[in-house]
Structure 1
C-alpha cells in the first residue's frame, strides 16, 4: 500500500520483472524508472525514481549462463508530506524502460498506474486543562481528545501523557469511539506528578510504518517555589570501535540558567535490556556545563540524573545511543 507520510519524506518501493535483460550478451542493460504524480501529464518529463541496476556477467569459458528470465529488479519512488492528493487516493504513473548496453533506443518499456492514498492525520488534539495545576491532597482529571483522519488501515497503538524531563507518564486506552475516528480518555494527576513540560503522544501504525503525533502542555503546582531543572546531553562520536572512547557533554540547568557545580549520576543501559546501571558521577562547572569521556563495552543508552533538592526539582537527561562496532 502506498501513501503520503504525514511529515517529512519517505519512499514507495516497487518491484519490476525484466524479461531476458541480457539479450544473449554479458553486458547489463540500463534500466530507467520515472514517475508522474496525480494530475501530471505523462507527455511531459517525469520525476526520477531510484532503480537498482543489474551488473555485467563475468567473462569466462564456457560463456556464463544468464539468470533465469524474468529477473526481478527493485526500486523506490520518493514521496513527501507536501505531495497532497486532491482526493482520498490519487493515481500516479510509473514508467520503466530497458535499454541494451551501447544502444540509444529502449527495447522494452512498460507503464503502469498505482494508487497513492492521503496521509494519516491527527486533528484537534487537545489536553484539558492546560496548564494542569496540581493541588495538595487532590487529584486533577486531565482530559484528552483528538480525531484520527483515516485513509487506510491506520490503528492507534499507543496513547500516553509523558513528561519531557522525567520518567513519568500515564498510559491511556487505544480505543476509538464507535465512529472509528473520535477519541476521548482521561488520567488522574496527583501532587506527586512531575511538573514542567509534558506532551500528549499519539502513536499510529499504518502497514509497516509507525508515526507519532505530539501535543505539548504544562504541569504546575500551587504553593511551591521550587525551580525546575533540565539536562541536555550529546554524545560524540555515537559509533565507536570496541576499546575506543566517546565524550558525553552538555549542560544542566536550574530554571533558565546553568546549575553551578551540580553533581549528577551517570547511568547506562545495554541495548535490549530494561535495566539501567549506575556508572559514576559527572560534575558541572560554574556555568552548568559538563563533559565526561567513557569507554563503552557494549552498544547501549547513556543518560544523566540530577537529584532534586529542597529548592529545585530533579531531572533526567535525554537518552543517547552509542553503538559499539
Structure 2
C-alpha cells in the first residue's frame, strides 16, 4: 500500500494497548429517547433521556449520561426539587443500590412559568463491570423538604448493557521487521474483532512511534470477523518502535487498539534530511497571499536544488491534498506564495533518493479571515 503523510493533528481518541498498556475512552453526549412517565411514581418527573451508547468500555472507564425532566421543579425560587437516581449492576440486590452522579438544581431569580427544568447526571461504567441487565430508578424530594426526607422513587427499570468491543489475536509478522538495502520486505497484519454491536473499522495502519512514517492498510473484515492484510516496507522506512493501530467506531464512541513491533536495519551511508517551514503572515484575508518558506537540509548542509512537494489539509478534514511543487535554491532555501481560501494546515515533503532519506516538514496553520 502507499506510504503517506501521518496526520500529526489527528482527532484525539482513546487507545487500548493490546497485550499491555492503557486505554482512554471518549465520553459523548446523551442522545434522546424519553422514557415513559408511567415509570415514575412522582408526578414531578415526566421522563428521562439516556445516552444511546449502552455498552461496557473496552478499557478504562466511561459513563452513561442522562437527563431527568421535571414538571414541578420548584416550590419557590430558592427551593428546587432534588433528584436522586439509583442504579444496580447485574445480580445486585436493592440493598446494594448505588447513587448516580447528579448535578442538582440551584436557586433561580424567578420560577419558570411552566415550572419545568432538566437535571443532568451520569452512571459510571468500568471495563471490569459485567454486561447484562442493569437497573435504575428515579426519585424526587420536593423543594423545601426536611434534610433527612426520603425521595419518592419510581419503579426499577431494566437497562441492557452490552459487552465491550474486543480486539484479540493481534499480530504483526515478522517482528522485528528487518529491512534490507535494495529490497522490499512484506509485512503481514492480522487480528480478530469481537463484535457486540454496530462496530466498524475506520482505519488500520502500521505507524512509527518515533516519526511521521506510516503505511495504510485496508479496513475490510473476513466473513468470520478476522482481519488479514499486508504491505511492503522498503529501506527508506524509519526504524525503531512501530505499532499496528486499529481504529474502531461503535455508536458515537471511537476506540483505538494498538500492538507494538520493531523495525530495524543494518548500517547505511545514506544521509538524513530535514525541512523547515514558516508562514508569513499566518493570518490573511481571503484572496490575499501568504508566503510559505523554509530550508531543506541534507545532513547538516543545504540540499541544493531539491524539488519539494507542497500539501494542504483543510481545517476539520482528515486528508492531505497535493498542491504543487516548489524548488529549493542552491542554498536549500525555498519560497512559495499561495492565496488560501480556507483555514488549514500546510507542509512540505522531500522524497528519498538512493543517497538521502526523505523527510517531512513541520506543520503550519494559516488562518483565513
Question: Could you tell me the TM-score, scaled by structure 1's length?
Answer: 0.65
Deviation at 1:225, TM superposition (A): 8.9
1 CA distance for matches of 2:135 and 2:237? 53
Q: Deviations over 1:100-154 (max 9, x none)?
A: 1332434632232201111111001000000111112211110000000111111
Residue in structure 2 matched with residue 233 of structure 1 by the alignment: none
Residue in structure 2 matched with residue 212 of structure 1 by the alignment: 256
Deviation at 1:170, TM superposition (A): 0.4
Residue in structure 1 matched with residue 8 of structure 2 by the alignment: none
1 CA distance for matches of 2:361 and 2:162? 39
2 CA distance for matches of 1:158 and 1:100? 51
DSSP 3-state at the match of 1:43? helix
Q: Sort the Cα spacing of 1:27 and 1:161 in 2 relative to 1 into closer, same or farther, 3 A.
A: same
Question: Could you tell me the TM-score, scaled by structure 2's length?
Answer: 0.58
The one of 118, 125, 128 aligned to 1:82 = 128
Residue in structure 2 matched with residue 138 of structure 1 by the alignment: 183
2 CA distance for matches of 1:21 and 1:68? 6
- Where does 1:114-129 land on structure 2 (aligned, <5 Å)? 114-129=159-174
Q: Give the root-mean-square deviation of aligned CA atoms.
A: 4.2
Residue in structure 1 matched with residue 244 of structure 2 by the alignment: 200
DSSP 3-state at the match of 2:94? coil
The one of 96, 99, 102 aligned to 1:51 = 102
Residue in structure 2 matched with residue 96 of structure 1 by the alignment: 138
Consecutive unaligned residues in structure 1, runs of 5 or more: 229-261, 264-268, 276-299, 302-312, 320-325
- Where does 1:139-288 land on structure 2 (aligned, <5 Å)? 139-179=184-224, 181-222=225-266, 224=268
1 CA distance for matches of 2:220 and 2:226? 9
Residue in structure 2 matched with residue 67 of structure 1 by the alignment: 114
The count of aligned residue pairs is 260
Residue in structure 2 matched with residue 17 of structure 1 by the alignment: 69
Contact 2:79/2:107 (8 A) holds in 1: yes
32-41 or 215-224: bigger deviation: 215-224
Q: Sort the Cα spacing of 1:191 and 1:65 in 2 relative to 1 into closer, same or farther, 3 A.
A: closer
The one of 157, 171, 174 aligned to 1:112 = 157
158-167 or 93-102: bigger deviation: 93-102
Residue in structure 1 matched with residue 283 of structure 2 by the alignment: none
2 CA distance for matches of 1:134 and 1:107? 68
Q: Sort the Cα spacing of 1:135 and 1:205 in 2 relative to 1 into closer, same or farther, 3 A.
A: same
2 CA distance for matches of 1:80 and 1:107? 27
Q: Sort the Cα spacing of 1:189 and 1:107 in 2 relative to 1 into closer, same or farther, 3 A.
A: closer
Contact 2:58/2:166 (8 A) holds in 1: yes
DSSP 3-state at the match of 1:153? coil
2 CA distance for matches of 1:158 and 1:65? 48
Deviation at 1:33, TM superposition (A): 1.7
DSSP 3-state at the match of 1:184? strand
Q: Deviations over 1:232-255 (max 9, x none)?
A: xxxxxxxxxxxxxxxxxxxxxxxx
Q: Sort the Cα spacing of 1:129 and 1:107 in 2 relative to 1 into closer, same or farther, 3 A.
A: closer
2 CA distance for matches of 1:218 and 1:131? 5
2 CA distance for matches of 1:68 and 1:107? 19
2 CA distance for matches of 1:182 and 1:189? 23
Q: Deviations over 1:239-283 (max 9, x none)?
A: xxxxxxxxxxxxxxxxxxxxxxx99xxxxx9976979xxxxxxxx
Contact 2:242/2:261 (8 A) holds in 1: yes
Contact 2:71/2:114 (8 A) holds in 1: no
DSSP 3-state at the match of 1:38? coil
